Amino acid sequence: MSDVLLIESLDLEGRGVAHRDGKVVFVEGALPGERVRAQVVRSKDSYDKARMTQLLHASSMRVEPPCPNFSVCGGCAMQHLHPEAQVAVKQRVLEDTLEHIGGVQAPQILPPLHGPYWGYRFRARFSVRLVNKKGGVLVGFRERNGRYVVDMDECRVLPADVSQLLRPLRTMLGGLSRPDRIPQIELAKGDQQLALTLRHMEPLSAEDIELLSNFGREHQVTWYLQPKGPETIHPLNRGDEQHLAYALPEFDLRMGFKPSDFTQVNQSINRSMIHSALSLLQVQPEHRVADMFCGLGNFSLPIARQAANVVGVEGSSTLTLRATEAAREHGLQDKASFATLNLFEVDVSWLRELGYFDRMLIDPPRDGAMALSQALSQLDHHERPERLVYVSCNPGTLARDAGILVREGGWKLEQAGVINMFPHTAHIESIALFTR
């Protein structure tokens, strides 16, 4: 049995939100303002999940998804919504989350950072499955139910040269000695090089190595092999190890990285994000700046071009080593220093020991920066940075930490806005400015 529902909004996973008899109903594929007929597929005490069986009244912002895989692929959730409307929806989600979880509001909404909408994804993890009923090896994202791999020959969010590799990659993998023991391939694309990391659960034969090498030469692909955990990743050919890099032309930087290092998926938006963050920080030549969760120096080295000194702190010694090497390669070793520390366990005493910073940038993973936010809230007014920029990949933890900073610490949330790092998905990145 199906019911007629009026869709009120979108949730954090891009599903339409409706109410029926006082109960929330999440409807996959439905958009705000639409009237749909939907059938419940899973019922819980506090909510139902439903699938749309009939679109009775379409939103003016509904578009035809250009990707042939959209109806089944779990890689994208919002291709049926106009790209500009996607950004507006994410902005509303950010504002609502700040208010409902953090109890705070931003007096000024920043212009969203968005575009390009296609061919933007420079990092991805493909599942690999041998499915004889479908003609051999499948390579791609998982279906929306998460159980199967999509039978795909193209992907519109990947760069065109990567999308064109899917079919030949499937054919080549099918020729390996144990394709049933290859669970995944990870993509990492730099400005001038494409790297694929092959997870293999059985040793590769000499014939397998030759197949991979021939494929790499023909398609300009650098292969990395992963026989066990991430620490076992190594290049098929030793000379390929240091070639991955992305440029930050505004700051005359070229950032080298390895396939297993964290880098932003969307390099165009990454450059815009760095520009926006530094503009909000208002870094001056005499300033001392902290970059918390600094990674391989994506923000630190651009800051070092403008400030007197930057201190980057990160939980991964691999990344701080990479950041230190990059600083030295760019002649910034006297202005940028890096330390390895678990920032989920810091307190105000540690923060005081670091000394005074004029500015601070925080760019945490999805878990946010709760301990650091509490420590910052316990600093005396004169000990605090004048400006604090928080870059977030999770609006929920940003809202929680903003609530700590504002309600417990007396910080002022001045501005906030979305960064559409992942177009056509429900993923929301954002940026916020606090002042002391």
- Kindly report the number of other CB atoms within 10 A of residue 297's CB atom: 28
Rg of the Cα atoms in the chain? 23
Please check whether residue 47 is in contact with residue 26, taking contact to mean a CB–CB distance below 8 angstroms: yes
The reply, when asked if residue 314 is annotated as ligand binding, is: yes
The reply, when asked if residue 145 is annotated as ligand binding, is: no
Rounded Cα gap, residues 10 and 146, in angstroms: 21
Cα end-to-end span (Å), the chain: 56
The reply, when asked if residue 76 is annotated as ligand binding, is: yes
The reply, when asked if residue 266 is annotated as ligand binding, is: no
Rounded Cα gap, residues 267 and 191, in angstroms: 9
User: Where in the sequence numbering do the catalytic residues fall?
Assistant: 393
The reply, when asked if residue 294 is annotated as ligand binding, is: no
- Bridge partners, 418 (sequence order): 430
Rounded Cα gap, residues 149 and 122, in angstroms: 20
Please check whether residue 69 is in contact with residue 150, taking contact to mean a CB–CB distance below 8 angstroms: yes
Rounded Cα gap, residues 423 and 393, in angstroms: 14
CA distances from 108 to 31, 95, 198, 433 (A): 27, 11, 46, 10
Q: What is the DSSP string of 224-274?
A: EEESSSGGG-EESSGGGTT--EEEEGGGTEEEE--TTS---S-HHHHHHHH
Rounded Cα gap, residues 388 and 290, in angstroms: 10
For the purposes of burial, counting CB atoms within 10 Å of the CB of 344, is it exposed (0-12), middle (13-18) or buried (19 or more)? middle
Please check whether residue 389 is in contact with residue 239, taking contact to mean a CB–CB distance below 8 angstroms: no
Q: Find how far residue 390's CA is from the centre of its chain.
A: 15
DSSP 363: -
Please report, in range form, the residues annotated as the binding site for [4Fe-4S] cluster: 67, 73, 76, 155
**Binding residue numbers for S-adenosyl-L-methionine:** 264, 293, 298, 314, 342, 363
Which residues are known binding-site members? 67, 73, 76, 155, 264, 293, 298, 314, 342, 363
